[in-house]
Structures are given as C-alpha cells and as structure tokens.
A and B are shown apart, each in its own frame.
Chain A
Amino acid sequence: MSTRAQKWLVSGPPLVYLLVFFAIPTLIMLLASFQYPGEYGGLAPLFGTGDPDELSGLTFESYQRFFGDAIYLGLFFKSFLYATATTLFCLLLAYPLALLITRSPKKYRDLLVLLVILPFWSNFLIRIYAWMIILGPQSLFAKGFNGFVGLFGIGPLPLLFSPIAVLIGLVYVHLPFMVLPLYANLEKHDPALLDAAQDLGASSWRRFWRITFPLSLPGVYAGSALVFIPALGIFAIPDILGGTDGILVGNLIKQQFLDSRDWPFGSVLSMILTLLAILFVGLAAWFARRK
C-alpha cells in the first residue's frame, strides 16, 4: 500500500465524521439562518405555494435583527468574558494539580488521573443540582461563608442564583478538560532537562519558568480550547445556578429553538458562535504551532 493510501485510510474516518456531524449540519444551519421562521416553529418553505400571505424564500432579516440591536453582541461579549474567566480559573487550578500528578510516584499516577475523571461517572446535571444545595442559603457552606464575610461587616451575600454560582459551576464542570491535556503534556517532559538546569545552578522557579512552562504550552493551548469552547455555548449551568441576569448566549440560542420557535434567528446566533469558536481554535493552533 502506498503511503498516500495509508494516509487516506487513517484520516478518512475522522474526515467522514467531521463532514457528516459538523460540516453538513453547519451548512444546513447556514441555510436556515437565511430562511423565514415557520408558522408553528421550524422553517418556512424555501419555495412558496404562491400564496401572498405566506412567507417563503431567503432573507437577511435575522441577520439584520442581530446586528440591529447591541443587546445580542453585548450578550456574546458577556459570554466571552465568562468563558475567558472560566478558562483562566481552570488553568490556575489545573496546572498545579497536573504537575503534582506528574511528579507523584508512578504507582499512584493512574489512580490520581482516575480521580480526576471520576466525576464523569455521575450525570452532569446531578452534579450541578448538588451545587444548588451546596450554595443554597440553608447550607453549611453558605452559612459558614456568610458568617466569615459577616466578620467584616459584609453580607449576608446570596450565593445561589448569582454570577459567582455560574462561574463556580462552569469551572467545576470543565476542570478535568484542562487537567487531562496538561497532564498528558507534562508527563512527557524529559526530567534530564530539569536535572541539567539544576546542575547549572537554576533555581526551582527559574527551572519551572524557563523549561517546564514553555514546554507545556501546547498542553495549555489544548486545555484552554477544550474549556473555552464548551463554556462559551453552555446553557444548563446559567439556567440552573444563575440569577435573573444570568443568561449567556447559549440560553438565548436554546430560547430561540425551544421557547420562541424561531429557528432562523437561533441559527444566526449559532453560526456566529461557531465562527467565534473556530476563530479561537485557529488562534490556539496557530500559537501552538508557532512555538
């Protein structure tokens, strides 16, 4: 078999997968974003029956609506901030953890990685509902927290139904997606490099900053993309833990498809979200490759 054929054989299945489950749906959505909404939901037909009252064909209406009101771009910006904050907090929490796992004795490593994945064994929604109880005003945690801030004359602060609750939920759910790529990267580092640096008199901080961190950057980019993109579009967490101003762009999209039955506008929002996500992946890949 020629190498060319081998290449196709290996890259074929993922290519087909992406074509069927990403490219084609995205094209359908692109078309939908230019259609009119159907009377009971769904889409108005592309080719009408000629009835003058019936909406059919293509239109820029939904795009005009999106760009005609700053409220939608504002919501994208807000979601962007939440996703960025989530990524940063995940990185700050995951990096030391991944490093700790890598530096721990080999026989414990698999167990520690298993512990990171363990939460996935229970349903995501159940874990979020658990946070509802933990953050609720009757909980020990909330009472302890408010007792503590009360010492400084603040509060009591409501924890549940607040932006903080949403951020806690986002960081909690996405943390493993940051830990795993970081661990996969850090584990491969050659310890001889650190030994050599130490022999040459580098302090432990300098060894980390000049050797470990630059080498781990591909892991940082991969983890950031894995956290940032889902966090940008998530709707369940703001729905359950968020307050009255907790909605993110994911909620708005869900609202278009489920509550308002406005598929074209939902498609416009999804298209823009997809474009932003691709842009982010592109940037991450570019940064990672440049190194």
Chain B
Amino acid sequence: MKKLLAVVALLFALPAWAQKADVLHLYNWNDYMSDETIKRFEAFCKCKVKQTYYSDNDELIAKLQAGAKGYDVLVPTMNAVEALIKMKALMPLDKAQLPNLKNVMPEYLNTAFDPGNTYSAPYAMSITLIGYNDRKVKELGVPVDSWATIFDPKILEKIKGKVTVMDSQRELMAAALKYLGYSVNDTDDAHLQEAKAVLLKAKPYWAAFNASSYIKELTVGNIWVAHGFSNDMFQANLDAKEAKRPFGILPALPKEGAVLALDAMVIHKSAPRPDLAHKFINFMLDGKNSADLTNMIGSGNPNADAMQYITPEIKALKAVFPDAETAKKLEMLKDLNSKQRRAMSKIWTEVKVK
C-alpha cells in the first residue's frame, strides 16, 4: 500500500517537475531538424526542446493571426517573415546575444524582406523541385530535367497515378508559372489563368495533392515522382537506403528554375523564453551545427562557416548547392495582399474541384 501511495505521489509530482524545467518551444517545418542536433542543444542549454510542426507558411501565419501563443522560435520562409513583421508578431533580435550571426553569407543578410535583419537570422534553404524514383524513371524513360515531368500530359501518360504535387497553392502555381516562363510572383490574371489551365490539364494524371506524406510514399515506392522540397527528397533517399529498397530517391532541379525558400529563425513577440530562443538561434548559427543540418537533412546552407564541415557528396548535389547559372533562375516567393490571395484562392478552388 505504501508503495502504491509513493507511486501515486510520484505521478502527481511529475507534471509539476516537468513544468519547472526549462523548455524551448520550437515551431518548425516538419522534417527540418535532426534529432541529434536537438539532443546536442538540449545538452548545451540544459533545457528541453518541444517541437511542433507546420507544413505551409500560410498555416503558420493563420495560426498566429488567430492568436496562437506559447512558441519561442519560429522558422518561417522570408516572405512569411515579412508578413509577420508587418503583423507586429515578432520580437526584435538582440544581436549582442548572437555573435555567430557573422557566419552567415552576406548575400543572405539584409534582404528586402527584413532590412538589417532586425527580426530574422537565416536558418537553412530549400528548393521546391522534383524528386523521383531513379529505377522507375530510368525504366520508363521519363525525362526529369523540366517541370514538364509533372505538367506535360505526354510525359505524365507513363507515370499516371504515380505522381503527387504539393498541396500548397503558392508552390504549385509557382511551378506552373515557371513552366510557362513567368516569374513565380506573377499576379497578372491572364498568366494565372494560363497556369490554371496547365494544372487542370495535368491533374487527371496525379495521384494526389500531398503536403507531408510524399516522403513516405516515395520511400515505399507507391509514388514515383513527387513535387516537393529538396530536403524532403534527401530524407526520402536516406529512408529508402535504410529500408534497403532496390531504388533511390533523387532530386531534379527543373531547367526553367524553381522556388528558393530561405527560412529564417525568428522569435515570436509573446515568446515565454526569449533567453533560450537567443541561445538556440546562436547555437544554430554555429558553423558546425548548421553544417549538421545540411549533412543530416540535406538542406541548403547560407552559413559560410558551415561549408568546411559539409560532406563532399552533399556539396556535389546540384539540388542542394546549385551552380551560379542555375541559382540565377531561382526565385523567392513574395507575400500576397488580401486581394491577390482571394484571386489565387479562387483559382486554387477551381483546380481542386474541377
């Protein structure tokens, strides 16, 4: 009986004890952080990291706009950083606590989205591209050097029902706009209608709009071609290797260009622990820790000091480190105003329903 009482007492004591511990609340993209890095940071700060996930910037903004609280660090893409700044949702960074900010390459600092980096510190990059099952694509002779792979019915004919595209209106429209030779930020109605026509023509060949389970579907072999983030394709390849699948998942950067997402760490204005948040940001800006991110999850890296620690195999990947010629064709998304969002949403609904 005494034993039982002790156990019960312990059970009641546990939550109280857990609450007292230092906890950093990180609201991050799914699959955008390696467990090892988290463990090392936890050992370094003697705190716990509690990570929650989102799969789209709009989802993050919508949640914060609706009054979500309790997050310390967020990792939005730069266009979302700009929107969050205008929404007055962020806390300015205390640069004195971030000596490692000097490691970031100058071309990724002081962008128009956040002049002077008052609020944001670059974290990692990803390119939205095409990931494919190398064996199947070779067998079927499907070209993967262009957006035509997911948009041209002639090519799609061979992989019908084995393709997923992103369940994100901005990303999918951007790919279609690039395919047509327009900018990813084009808001001209005629061009958007053209892009819509491209999507509608290709839609019957796709299996699904998929924002977060395409990694698994690629790894298992259910899907042969997926439109998604470069680091997700890297992860899918690692998973396929680990499961000893007879194929690999490779990334292909379309020749027309693609969306480049520079994601940055920001602190929410109602962050419960800005001290831990700054510690975390500075930790992630350290060359070695930043390089880990690239080595383990295959994200692009804006950190100059990280380059020396990145494995040569990953450095050679064009989808992670594009050459200067390709880099010129990459574009970052800009945030849309409410009118443009409505126009986009109308097109997106038509694409999804028709």
Contact = CB atoms under 8 A, between A and B. Distances in A.
Interface stretch (A105-113, A130-138, A171-179, A201-209): A130-138
Nearest to B207: A161
A213 interface: no
Contacts of A255: 345, 348-349, 352
B222 A136 contact: yes
Interface in B160-211: 161, 167-169, 203-204, 206-209
Given A37-B338, A158-B207, A161-B208, A261 B353 contact: no
Nearest to B59: A258
The number of chain B residues touching the other chain, given as a range, is 35 or more
Contacts of A240: 213
Given A259-B56, A259-B59, A261-B65, A244 B209 contact: yes
Given A244-B203, A260-B169, A41 B62 contact: yes
A236 interface: no
Interface string B34-59: 00000000000000000000001011
A71 B348 contact: no
B220 interface: yes
Interface in B333-354: 335, 337-338, 341-342, 344-346, 348-350, 352-354
B58 A261 contact: yes
The number of chain A residues touching the other chain, given as a range, is 35 or more
Contacts of B209: 244
Interface string B59-84: 10111011000000000000000010
Interface string A131-171: 01000111000000000000000000010110000000000
Interface in A239-287: 239-240, 242-247, 251-252, 255-262, 265
B221 interface: yes
A77 B59 CA distance: 27
Contacts, number: 110
Contact of A75 (B207, B335, B353): B353
B87 interface: yes
A45 interface: no
B345 A256 contact: yes
B168 A259 contact: yes
B154 interface: no
B86 interface: yes
A74 B208 contact: no
Nearest to A39: B338
Contacts of A160: 207, 222
A252 B56 contact: no
A261 B206 contact: no
A153 B348 CA distance: 37
A155 B211 CA distance: 28
Contacts of A161: 161, 207-208
Interface in A30-83: 36-42, 44, 55, 65, 69, 71-72, 74-75
A258 B222 contact: no
A252 B350 CA distance: 11
12 contacts: A40-B65, A40-B86, A41-B62, A42-B65, A71-B349, A243-B208, A245-B354, A251-B352, A257-B66, A260-B169, A261-B61, A261-B65
Given A36-B338, A251-B352, A258-B56, 5 more contacts: A40-B65, A252-B349, A257-B66, A258-B58, A260-B341
* Those 9 A-B pairs whose CB atoms lie nearest each other, nearest first: A260-B345, A41-B65, A161-B208, A37-B338, A258-B62, A161-B207, A259-B58, A42-B65, A40-B87
